Amino acid sequence: MAERPSWDEYFMSIARLVSGRATCLRRKVGAVIVKDRRILATGYNGAPAGLPHCSETGCVRERLRVPPGERHELCRGIHAEQNGIVQSANHGTVIAGATIYTTHHPCSVCAKMIINAGIVRVVTDDGYPDELAADMLAEGGIAVETLAEAASAPPGRRAPTDRTPPAKLPRP
């Protein structure tokens, strides 16, 4: 019998699946926001709802040769983490205290949103060249782990969101 994936592996596999919906020409990113082992929201990167995708308009950042991690204001797309946070707000879902699983390390804009949204943990699958984002997340007290680090941490050192059972609902 195959070993069951850890919760971190499970939610990251969903983030990878979500990234398949991304419409960015440079990088496909998916994010899943989880609290008490329940998925609250998902997001992927691409143009805002109702606007043409970059596959139709072309990539401004590519045309201008903007390196990754710089000049985010030149991108017409919204990032996966931003889409997940906005989706939560649109549906009135409280994400304070949650973990966000994202296929790539958040940029500095997403890091600020993660901090202000009250997300307490970021689990990522891949890096991103944005030192300011890493510094701000650390300064904000946000636990950041790569999936490999999270999976190899001894049980007593894993983040509480990985070990805490789901909250019990009050009985009627």
DSSP one-letter string for 99-116:
EEEESS---HHHHHHHHH
* DSSP bridge partners of 34: 39, 99
Residue type, 3: E
Active site residue: 3, 9, 81, 145, which one? 81
Helices and strands (H and E) in the chain: how many: 8, 5
Q: Are the CB atoms for 5 and 15 separated by under 8 Å?
A: no
Output the six-digit token pair for 55.
Answer: 């596959």
Give the DSSP H or E segment for 8: helix 7-19
Note if 81 is an active site residue.
Answer: yes
Which sequence positions are flagged as catalytic? 81
